[in-house]
Amino acid sequence: MEMLDPDLLKTFLAFVDGGSLAKAASAVGRTPSAVTAQMQRLEEIVGEPLLTPQGRGRGLTPAGEDLVGHARRILAVHTEAWLALKGARAGGRIAIGTTQDFADHGLPDLLRAFAVSHPRVRIELRVGRSQELGSALQAGQLDLAITMRHAASPDEAAVISEPMLWLCSEKGLATRQEAVPLALLDPYCGFREAALNALDAAGRRYRIAAGSASLSGLRTAVDAGIALTPRTRRFAHSGIVEAPPEFDLPPLPMADFAIRLGREAERPARDLADLLGSGLALPS
């Protein structure tokens, strides 16, 4: 009996979570042809087709749908074992910096798993904006930081790519307006720049209806129906949803986030960076 290779399962779940082979390839750092070959190899091991043509892309067969739960459990056990072995004798302190998006969604469960397997490691968490966190990392105040990525950097341990979305209140806008009302973080903000560039390129009129220095302020403005905002799906909860097609908004680019390590980062921080790199991707 052939065993299910965790690398193949990771690529399979990257397809499930991303919705396409191209996005899976980006997520696992392989070419689309290599991902296709991996899926064919996994189908050979399973003995049944896992993917089927669906519109212009591919979907899951019944066997593929059955494999999803098994794959997640297998990889979870692998992660648990890896963490337990790595953390058995580890001690010290890790200073982590993260943007609010990840502090609210994704990071808590992974930090819990890390704390269980590394009970002697002290975690210090700092939540802020990417520019501030990058400066703190360079100054040696942080061992690890999750920041928005604007260019490749030698201190990157992993890169997470997520689609930017136009988000609004699930109740819609309080008033309909010809100019697109925006809620944006104060400069500098990568989401702000992407939104303004997209609207300018599409020739759409807009106005900044709400500004804030924090995501909590942004959330309040969007939830109240004052404006739309560009974020990832991590921001879309508690009454905030993707803007409907009738808003006719231009497409936004991908948002890239880097998991970065400080120059003096020790083994536990590097282990945590590996865990975050594989565990922070958003499910579909």
pLDDT tens per residue, range 5-31: 888 888 888 888 877 888 888 777 788
Q: Give the DSSP per-residue string, 188-220.
A: S-HHHHHHHHHHHHHT--EEEEEEESSHHHHHH
- Is the pLDDT score of 90 beyond 70? no
Q: Which CATH number is associated with domain 90-161+256-279?
A: 3.40.190.10
Q: Output the pLDDT for position 204.
A: 94
DSSP state of 233: G
6-84: what CATH class? mainly alpha
Q: Output the pLDDT for position 179.
A: 92
Share of the chain above pLDDT 70, in %: 94
Share of the chain above pLDDT 90, in %: 38
Domain locations in the chain? Answer: 6-84, 90-161+256-279, 165-252
Q: What is the mean pLDDT of the chain?
A: 87
Per the model's pLDDT, the better-predicted residue between 182 and 267 turns out to be: 182
* pLDDT tens, residue by residue, 62-81: 998 999 888 888 887 777 77
Average pLDDT over residues 122-144: 92
165-252: what CATH class? alpha beta
